[in-house]
């Protein structure tokens, strides 16, 4: 059983998290998504899918955003592992002050 490789946001299963690597979208769409938190290095969580499978609701930076499959297909991610995948911040990623403020 090897690790599952995820290249596109659309490949995340509901409940999985990915680290955003890049956006291959028209500049206007890319800028719009980046203003909503879709920036490289951010953690994206696939929350739920419409009954027909499209769109999917993703959570990034506390904001829930529904994206169509064709848009999510153009967003590159890598699958989270360890503490971030479970929803707990990794100590190397947040300062103690930020962790305490989040509590």
CATH number at residue 85: 2.30.30.90
Query: Distance from CA of residue 53 to its chain's centroid?
Result: 17
Looking at the domain assignment, is residue 2 inside a domain? no
Looking at the domain assignment, is residue 82 inside a domain? yes
Query: What pLDDT is attached to residue 93?
Result: 45
Looking at the domain assignment, is residue 83 inside a domain? yes
Written as tens digits, the pLDDT of the chain (103 aa) is 555 566 899 999 999 999 999 999 999 999 999 999 999 999 999 999 999 989 999 999 899 999 999 999 999 999 887 544 555 444 334 444 444 444 4
Looking at the domain assignment, is residue 20 inside a domain? yes
58/48 Cα distance (integer angstroms)? 7
Looking at the domain assignment, is residue 66 inside a domain? yes
Tell me the residue range of the domain where 71 lies: 9-102
Looking at the domain assignment, is residue 1 inside a domain? no
Looking at the domain assignment, is residue 3 inside a domain? no
Looking at the domain assignment, is residue 64 inside a domain? yes
Q: Are 40 and 78 in contact (CB under 8 A)?
A: no
Per the structure, the count of domains in the chain is: 1
17/85 Cα distance (integer angstroms)? 6
């Amino acid at each position: 059983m090897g690790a599952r490789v995820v290249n596109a946001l659309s490949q995340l299963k509901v409940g999985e998290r990915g680290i955003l690597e890049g956006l291959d979208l028209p500049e206007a769409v890319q800028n719009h998504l980046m203003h909503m938190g879709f920036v490289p290095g951010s953690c994206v969580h696939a929350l739920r899918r419409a009954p027909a499978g499209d769109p999917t609701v993703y959570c990034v930076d506390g904001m829930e955003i529904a994206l169509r499959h064709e848009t999510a297909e153009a967003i590159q991610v890598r699958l989270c592992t360890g503490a971030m995948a479970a929803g707990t911040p990794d100590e190397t990623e947040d300062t103690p002050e930020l962790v305490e403020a989040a509590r």
